[in-house]
Amino acid sequence: MKGIILAGGTGSRLRPATTSVSKQLLPVYDKPMIYYPLSVLMLADVRDILLITTPADLPLFQRLLSDGSQLGLDLKYATQPEPKGIPEAFLIGADHIAGDTTALVLGDNIFHGHGFSELLRRSIEALRGCVLFGYPVDDPGRYGVGLTDDAGRLVSIEEKPVAPPSNRAVTGLYFYDSDVVEIARSLRPSARGETEITDVNRAYIARGTAELVDLGRGFAWLDTGTPDALMQASQYLQTLQQRQGVRIACLEEIALRMGFIDAESCYRMGLALSNAPYGRYVMDVAAEHGGGPHAEVR
């Protein structure tokens, strides 16, 4: 499976904070926002990843993440000069996908939950068209809302419905088979002037090959689109990390635990950041797995 992170857009709702930098490079508590969607793909065991961003922001992402090899990834980059809809990611990334299955995650979506990696990998194994992920919300009228039949097949999606058929919002994480590129090519722009990801999903619904996996109790799906939402996400992560003593979306730790890198490589990356608590945490994790000086303590 190939991975795509769509990290474009203007971040207009977060200005002036995003006037000179991509929204996806803003900090969410102790790490850049882009770490969170990238961690999702890594947890799904997806290592061949295309990051799509604006031409102006591309060098900043390359400076942060390089080619991904330090994390055991193959990370490539492409540009989306202006927002033309989420499905454009499949056209920009057509050569990257190259007939394979695809995991697309939006660059401003944050997911967290126990057993998430196993859930993602089971969903990939069961992929027979598209797999979407639903999350229960109190205000479904703000989102695309999915409705399933008794067998779990997705039968409809309604965008911002006045009378929502369920409380399950469709999140910004999508798994597709190799037909997604041709489906994206067939779309026409909506009244907004952009192609719509809901139209891609409806094409799979029409084929009877769309599934909605519930992210229920114990999972979190966090929004970062406004200053208040960004602050709330940071506070949530701060509280969770301080109480549990673990760091969510720590890319070095995930790479180590997934077997992408060894403990020595992990330790060296932590050492390079050792002036910060994040770096010392990475060193501790590596030391627990036999990397670096074993006397390292937090």
Burial of 206 (0-12, 13-18, 19+ CB in 10 A): exposed
> Token match 């770490």: residue?
35
Helix (H/G/I), strand (E/B), else coil: 68: coil
Tokens of 74: 């193959």
Query: Would you call 209 exposed, middle or buried from its count of C-beta atoms within 10 A (0-12, 13-18, 19+)?
Result: middle
Distance of CA 102 to the CA centre of its chain: 13
Q: How far apart are CA 266 and CA 256, in angstroms?
A: 7
Residue spans of the domains in the chain: they are 2-261, 262-297
Residue burial 12-22, b: 16+ Cβ < 10 Å; e: rest:
eebeeebeeeb
Which positions ≥6 away from 90 have C-beta within 8 Å? 4, 97, 102, 104, 176, 180, 181, 183, 184, 200
Q: Could you read off the pLDDT tens digit of each residue along the chain, which spans 298 residues?
A: 999 999 988 888 899 888 888 999 999 999 999 999 999 999 999 999 999 999 999 999 999 999 999 999 999 999 999 889 999 999 999 999 999 999 999 999 999 999 999 999 999 999 999 999 999 998 888 888 998 888 777 899 988 888 888 889 999 999 999 999 999 999 999 988 899 999 999 999 999 999 999 998 889 999 888 899 999 999 999 999 999 999 999 999 999 999 999 999 999 999 999 999 999 999 999 999 999 875 444 4
Q: What is the DSSP string of 4-61?
A: EEE--S--GGGTTTTSSS-GGGSEETTEETTHHHHHHHHHTT--EEEEEE-TTTHHHH
CATH classification code of 2-261: 3.90.550.10
Cα–Cα distance, 52 to 267 (Å, whole number): 29
Number of residues assigned to the chain: 298
**What is this structure's pTM?**
0.94
Q: Can you name the residues that pair with 142 across neighbouring β-strands?
A: none
Is residue 154 classed as helix, strand or coil in its secondary structure? strand
